[in-house]
Amino acid sequence: MHKKHITNAECRTEFDIWREGSVRRGTISAGVSEFRTHFVVESPESDRDVEMLIRLAKRGCFAEQLVQNAVPLRSTYSVNGRDAQIEL
């Protein structure tokens, strides 16, 4: 564990979304074309040390890894109390 002093840290996230098709026609699809993060860190530590901490935090962030590296999505469904198979 790196013991460094951070006096303030903030993270802003933004993402661009799109949707096309029609719910009525059953052709709806949606997605995200880009996801951005902006970090603001204040610390008496050296810039090099703070940059190292940011690198480690990004590598250890489950949310960032999920966005960067697609993983299988497994969904289950229950309709009116019974298991259902829904083809997408």
pLDDT tens-digit series, residues 57-78? 999 999 999 989 989 999 999 9
Residue 67 belongs to domain spanning = 8-84
* pTM flag (> 0.75): no
Domain assignment of residue 1, yes or no: no
Give the Cβ contact number of residue 81 at 10 Å. Answer: 5
Give me the pLDDT at residue 70, please: 86
If one counts the domains in the chain, the total is: 1
Domain assignment of residue 49, yes or no: yes
Q: Do residues 79 and 29 lie in contact, with contact meaning Cβ atoms separated by under 8 Å?
A: no
Give me the pLDDT at residue 32, please: 94
Domain assignment of residue 2, yes or no: no
As a whole number of angstroms, the distance between CA 50 and CA 42 comes to 9
For the chain, count helices (H), then strands (E).
Answer: 2, 4
Amino acid at 47: D
For residue 37, the domain's CATH number is 3.30.300.20
Give me the pLDDT at residue 46, please: 96
The structure tokens 């802003």 sit at 12
Domain assignment of residue 34, yes or no: yes
Domain assignment of residue 57, yes or no: yes
